[in-house]
Amino acid sequence: MLRFRSNGFPRFCVKFGVLFAIFLRYTITMRTLISFLLIGLLFSPQLRAAQGKHAMAVTSDPYATKAALEILKQGGNAVDAAIAAQWVLNVVEPQSSGIGGGGFFLYYDAVTKQIHAFDGREQAPQDAYPDMFLDENGFPFPYYPDRITGGLAVGVPGTLKLLQVVHSRFGSKKFSFSELFGPAIEVAERGFPVSKRLARYLEEHKKRLKLFPASRQTFFNPEGKSLEVHSLLFMPDLAETFKLVQKEGIRVFYEGEIAKDIAKAVREAPFHPGLMSEDDLSFYRVKERNPIRGRYRQYDVFSMGPPSSGGTTLIETLQILGFFDLAYYGKTADGIHLFSEAQKLAFQDRNHWLADPDYVEIPTEKIVSLEFAEERSQAIRWEYAIPTTQAAMSPLNLGASHTSHLSIVDEWGNMVSYTTTIESVFGSALMVPGRGFLLNNELTDFEAVPKDDKGKPVANAPEGGKRPMSSMTPTFIFREGKPLMIVGAAGGTKIIGAVLNILTNVLDFGMSLNDAMNAPRIINRYGPTEMETFLYENQTIVHDLERRGHPIRHEPSMGIAQAVWFDEDNHAVYGETDPRGEGSALGY
Ligand code: GLY
C-alpha cells in the first residue's frame, strides 16, 4: 500500500483544504468537491517525500518520477525506470539534460552485489585544441554568454549510447530499449505545463536561445515572447527524434541522418561555430570505469571516478572529516570551520589533479587513501582558515541548478544513481534544427586557460577526444554490506558539496532524510565559504568565521538533490526530493 508523507506545498494545501472543508461543512456539493480536491492533492505528483515497501523513484520532475514508477510497477527494473525517466526529463526539463548531453550512471546489481560505473560523458571533437577558448590576444572568451553559447563548446553527446549500454547489460528485458521512449513521446506530443523554473530560465536565457532559429521557434511565440509558467509546451520534433531512434536504433543518432544534422548544426552555428564532425559521433564510446570507494566512519561510500571529480573529492573530504568528531562540533562556528576547511583541501587537490584519466595520470588511489586524508587533515588549524588563491568565480558560473539526478531502487534491490546533464541551463542554447533537442556545452568544463602561471599545461586542458572533468557525484552508501542510501545532485561544481552536506547530516548528525535535505548547506570550492540563507543570517557564526579569515558568501540555494534511504528495521524505503527543486518521490 502506498503511503505518502508530504511537506512544503502539499502539506500546506492539505491543512488549508481541511479548514476550508470545516468552514463549508453544510454544503454537500462543496464537500464533495473538496474531497476530490484533497484526494487530488494527496496523490499530486508534486509530493516531495514518499515511503514504500518495495521500490522507490526520486527524480527532478513529477512527470519523470511517474514514468519511472509505472515502469517499476509493471515489472521493469531500476535501469528500465531510469531510462524512461531520462527521456521524460528531456521533454519536461529541456534546460537540464537529454539526448544532446551526457552523464554518469552508477548501478548496483542486487544478485551479484557488484557496483558498475558507466561514463557517458561528452567528448571533445578530434579537432579540439588547448587554446580553443582563447581570443586572438590569448584571453579566454567571457564565460557568459560567449563561451557557453553556440557550437564551439559542444561535446559529442553520450546519453543515448550510455542508456543503450546499461539497458543491454542490466535492463530487465521486460521492456525493449525502444519501448522506454513511450512515456516521453506521449508527454512531448500531448504537451505539458511549463514549470516555474523553466519559465524563469526561458526569460533569463532568451537572448542566447534566440540566436538559434530552432530554439527560438520551440520556446518563444511568433512575437518572440517566452512561454509563461503553466502554458502548454509541445515538443513534436523531439517526439519524432525519439520515434526515429525507436525505428532505426541508436545508429541513426551516431552514424545516420541525425549525426549529419548534429555535425552540421555545430559547424554552421550562427554563433561560435564548432569543430564536430560526423566521425566524432561515430567514434563515440561509453566507458565502464572502476567505481571509487571510500570508508567514512562505519559506512562504505561508492561514487563516480574520473573523468568526474565527484567521487574522489567527496571521499577525500569525508575521510579528512573522519579524523574529527564532526557530531561533537555540530553546526557551530568550529564545526562549520572544520567542514569548510576539509572541502577546501579536497577541492584544491581536485583542481590540481582531476581530468580525463585516459589523457592524464591521476593518483586516484592516493587521493582516496586514509593516509593521504590524515596528512591533509593536519593542515587544518582552528585559529585560521587556509588562504586560497582561487580567483573570484564568475557570478554566472556559480553552479546554478542545471543538470538532473535520479535515485531509483526496484523491488529486487537493484539501485541506480544517475546524474545527467547538458551542462549550462539550456546547454549551448543550440537546438538541432528539426530534431527538437538542445546540444550540450560540456566543453566549458575544461579549463579555458590551458596553462598555469609557469606555462605548464593544466590537467583539465581541452584536447581532441578528451572528456572534460565533471563534478557529478552519483553515490551509494552501504552499512555492513547493506544499502543505506542512494544520493546525487544537480548544481555544477556545487554538486559535490550538496551531496556531502546531505551525507554528513544523516551519518554524523543523525538527521532524517527530510531534515538532512532541508538543512541550509555550507560549501567550499577552494574559495569563499558559501552558506545558504538561514546559516548566513546567524551573524555570530559569520563574524567568528570571518575573524578566522573565511571570506563568506551568501547563496540562497545550492544544489538540487534526489535521495533514497533504506530503513532495514522497518522494511521501508524512503524517497526525498530537494525542496530547492521541483522534483518528486514515488514508491510502492
Ligand atoms: N556539467 C556539470 C558537471 O559535469 O559537473
Region 427-455 average pLDDT: 97
> Among 423, 428, 440, which residue has the most ligand 1 atoms within 8 Å of its CB, making it the best to mutate?
423
Question: CA-to-CA distance for 62 and 583, rounded, in angstroms?
Answer: 6
Locate 161 and state its grid cell.
549510447
159: Cα separation from own chain's centroid: 13
Question: CA-to-CA distance for 143 and 573, rounded, in angstroms?
Answer: 42
Burial class (CB in 10 A: 0-12, 13-18, 19+), 225: exposed
pTM flag (> 0.85): yes
pLDDT at residue 30 greater than cutoff 70: no
Q: What does 166-180 look like in DSSP terms, one character per residue? A: HHHHH--SSS-TTGG
Q: CA torsion sign, 579 to 584 to 585 to 586?
A: positive
Question: CA-to-CA distance for 524 and 496, rounded, in angstroms?
Answer: 10
Q: Could you tell me if 551 and 528 are in contact, meaning their C-beta atoms sit under 8 angstroms apart?
A: yes
> Would you say the CB of residue 445 lies under 6 angstroms from ligand 1?
yes
Per residue in 324-357, pLDDT tens?
Answer: 999 999 999 999 999 999 999 999 999 999 999 9
Q: Which residue has better confidence, 389 or 273?
A: 273
401 pLDDT band, cuts 50/70/90, is: low
- Nearest one of 6, 1, 82, 12 to 50, comparing CA atoms: 6
Region 266-293 average pLDDT: 98
CB atoms within 10 A of CB 552: 17
> Would you say the CB of residue 122 lies under 6 angstroms from ligand 1?
no
Q: Could you tell me if 398 and 491 are in contact, meaning their C-beta atoms sit under 8 angstroms apart?
A: no
Question: CA-to-CA distance for 553 and 548, rounded, in angstroms?
Answer: 15
> Among 147, 421, 473, which residue has the most ligand 1 atoms within 8 Å of its CB, making it the best to mutate?
421
Separation of CA 561 and ligand 1 centre (Å): 14
Region 402-428 average pLDDT: 97
CA atoms within 13 A on the CB side of 34: 19
| pLDDT at position 389 | 74
> Would you say the CB of residue 491 lies under 6 angstroms from ligand 1?
no
Amino acid identity, residue 235?
A: M
| pLDDT at position 534 | 83
Residues involved in catalysis: 403
Q: If phi over 0 gives left and psi between -120 and 50 gives alpha, with beta otherwise, what is residue 98?
A: left
Separation of CA 18 and ligand 1 centre (Å): 43
Average pLDDT of the chain is 91
Dihedrals phi, psi of 404, to nearest 5 degrees:
-140, 150
Per residue in 218-251, pLDDT tens?
Answer: 999 999 999 999 999 999 999 999 999 999 999 9
Residues 6+ apart with CB under 8 A from 145: 207, 208
448 pLDDT band, cuts 50/70/90, is: very high
Q: Could you tell me if 401 and 581 are in contact, meaning their C-beta atoms sit under 8 angstroms apart?
A: yes
| pLDDT at position 535 | 84
Separation of CA 570 and ligand 1 centre (Å): 36
- Residue 478: in which H helix or E strand, if any? strand 475-479
The minimum-distance atom of ligand 1 relative to the CA of 468 is 4
Residue 370 DSSP SS3: helix
User: What are the E-state strand segments in 252-291?
Assistant: 287-289
pLDDT at residue 16 greater than cutoff 90: no
348: Cα separation from own chain's centroid: 22
Q: Could you tell me if 545 and 333 are in contact, meaning their C-beta atoms sit under 8 angstroms apart?
A: yes
- Protein residue with its CA nearest to atom 1 in ligand 1: 423
Q: What is the 3-state secondary structure (H, E, C) of 220-248?
A: ECCCCCECCCCCEECCHHHHHHHHHHHHH
* Measured torsion, CA atoms of residues 36, 41, 45, 47, in degrees rounded to the nearest 10: -150
The minimum-distance atom of ligand 1 relative to the CA of 310 is 5
Q: CA torsion sign, 297 to 298 to 300 to 301?
A: negative
Locate 80 and state its grid cell.
528500465
409 pLDDT band, cuts 50/70/90, is: very high
Question: CA-to-CA distance for 48 and 59, rounded, in angstroms?
Answer: 10
